[in-house]
Amino acid sequence: MSSTLRHVRTRLKDLAEQAGVSTATVSRVLNGKPGVAAETRKAVLAALDVLGYDRPEKLRNRSQGLVGLIVPELDNPVFPALAQAIETTLSDRGYTPLLCTQSPGGTTEDEYIEMLIEHGVDGIVFVSGRHADTTASTERYHRLRGRGLPIVFVNGYAAGVDAPAVSTDDAVAVTLAVRHLRSLGHERIGLAVGPDRYVPSRRKIATFTALLAEQRPDEDAEQHVVSTLFTVEGGQVAGGELIDSGHTAVVCGSDLMALGVIRAARSRGLRVPEDVSVVGFDDSPLIAFTDPPLTTLRQPVVAMGKAAVSALMAEIGGTRVSRTELLFHPELIVRGSTGPAPAAPAAPAAPAAPTTTGSAEPTPRAAGVP
């Protein structure tokens, strides 16, 4: 038997095992023969990609067009997850995604927009961009719409902009977290979020303060909120302030912030969750493997990615999509970072050197309502 034939048979066997089909089925797909179910064909093509084989020329999808995807920095794991969900859905629709990632001091959103226009994109998806900043001008988006270019916003509703918007319901997220912590007996609950100029932060703060006002109407609810950066370091600062002021539980605006709160607790000689309970937001990849595994609010990134692409495809095809913001319910994932409230507020020990810690259905809601 020739080495070439042996290699071909080995490849067919590997692909069949990866796709969960027979070698005969793999052969039919690779040779473009009929009689193979669409899902089976897709599984074989996915196996080719996973195992690093080039697709035969006749099996390569012909791109229907280019779509821009602009996301923030990739340090926060939720952004790569959202980008992957959107890119996969675009590819399934036959479009080629052009991913643009921002970084401090790097290419700006406006520069990316100009570059994408030069490449002749059919539309642009914006994830947590300038549209989410209530202090930023929306003129750039009005100009794009004036040119007839379809755009979609993810996680950040921009009032007055003629574009569909898809977001996680921040009000539901905070409500689930606070109810969970109250059920565990916590009364001193704090909120650590990013800068309050961003729409998601504002909505979390509005819901959180309203929930606290219902329980303690005579108390200033804002004293239980700390706005800082969406980073581990930001979470550590916010967590330190909230812990030092007697809070036994902290709801966070991101998983990275939650890890910072855990770091702040441990630097004070406190245990999580025995002394301080912590709730994150996102359910980023690998977050279940932290110490302790993080209780968090899971953003339905796959469902949101599909919804954003569906809206964009409709707009590209000439069908106007509703401008009512599409809100997706997050899911509370209870793990090891939350537990019963301590019998009495934990007295912080002298600070030590910081240590590093290691399904959803969309609900249309009037835009702008938290």
Q: 67-90: per-residue pLDDT in tens?
A: 999 998 878 899 999 999 999 999
User: Which pLDDT band holds residue 50 (cuts at 50, 70, 90)?
Assistant: confident
Query: pLDDT tens-digit profile of 306-338?
Result: 999 999 999 999 999 999 999 999 999 999 999
| Position 187, amino acid | E
pLDDT attached to residue 57: 62
CATH topology of domain 3-59: 434 Repressor (Amino-terminal Domain) (1.10.260)
pLDDT attached to residue 60: 55
Mean pLDDT for the chain overall = 87
Number of alpha helices (DSSP H) and beta strands (DSSP E) in the chain: 11, 13
Q: Between 277 and 218, whose confidence is greater? A: 277
pLDDT attached to residue 121: 95
pLDDT attached to residue 10: 52
Answer for the pair 102, 75: CB distance below 8 angstroms, yes or no.
Answer: no
Q: What is the pTM of this model?
A: 0.78
pLDDT attached to residue 364: 45
User: Which pLDDT band holds residue 357 (cuts at 50, 70, 90)?
Assistant: very low
CATH topology of domain 170-300+330-364: Rossmann fold (3.40.50)
Query: What stretch of H or E contains 165?
Result: strand 165-168
User: Which pLDDT band holds residue 56 (cuts at 50, 70, 90)?
Assistant: confident
pLDDT at 181 over 60: yes
Which range, of 94-98, 265-269, 301-305, averages the lowest pLDDT? 94-98
Distance CA(269)–CA(277), nearest Å, equals 14
Share of the chain above pLDDT 90, in %: 66
> Do the domains at 3-59 and 65-167+302-323 have one common CATH topology?
no
Query: pLDDT tens-digit profile of 239-260?
Result: 999 999 999 999 999 999 999 9
From the number of C-beta atoms within 10 Å of its C-beta (0-12, 13-18, 19+), residue 109 rates as middle
pLDDT at 175 over 70: yes
C-beta neighbour count of 329 within 10 angstroms:
18
What is the rounded average pLDDT of the residues 217-223?
A: 83
Q: Beta-strand (E) ranges in 185-248?
A: 189-193, 225-227
Share of the chain above pLDDT 70, in %: 88
Which range, of 29-43, 149-163, 348-362, averages the lowest pLDDT? 348-362
What is the rounded average pLDDT of the residues 189-200?
A: 96
Distance CA(80)–CA(185), nearest Å, equals 36
What lies within 8 Å, CB to CB, of 315 at 6+ separation is 123, 150, 152, 164, 321
Which range, of 141-145, 220-224, 278-282, averages the lowest pLDDT? 220-224
What is the rounded average pLDDT of the residues 198-208?
A: 97
User: Which pLDDT band holds residue 59 (cuts at 50, 70, 90)?
Assistant: low
Distance CA(80)–CA(94), nearest Å, equals 21
Residue 20 gets the label, from left (phi > 0), alpha (psi -120 to 50) or beta, of: left
What is the rounded average pLDDT of the residues 123-149?
A: 95
- The yes or no reply on domain 65-167+302-323 and CATH 1.10.10.10 is no
pLDDT attached to residue 23: 84
Answer for the pair 226, 261: CB distance below 8 angstroms, yes or no.
Answer: no
Helix 255-267 vs helix 232-244: crossing angle, to nearest 10: 50
Q: Between 119 and 41, whose confidence is greater? A: 119
pLDDT at 365 over 50: no
From the number of C-beta atoms within 10 Å of its C-beta (0-12, 13-18, 19+), residue 271 rates as middle
Query: pLDDT tens-digit profile of 268-304?
Result: 999 999 999 999 999 988 898 999 999 999 999 999 9
Strand order in the sheet with 295-298: 225-227, 189-193, 249-252, 277-282, 295-298, 331-333
Measured over the CA atoms of residue 64, residue 65, residue 71 and residue 76, the dihedral's sign is positive
Three-state secondary structure call for residue 145: helix
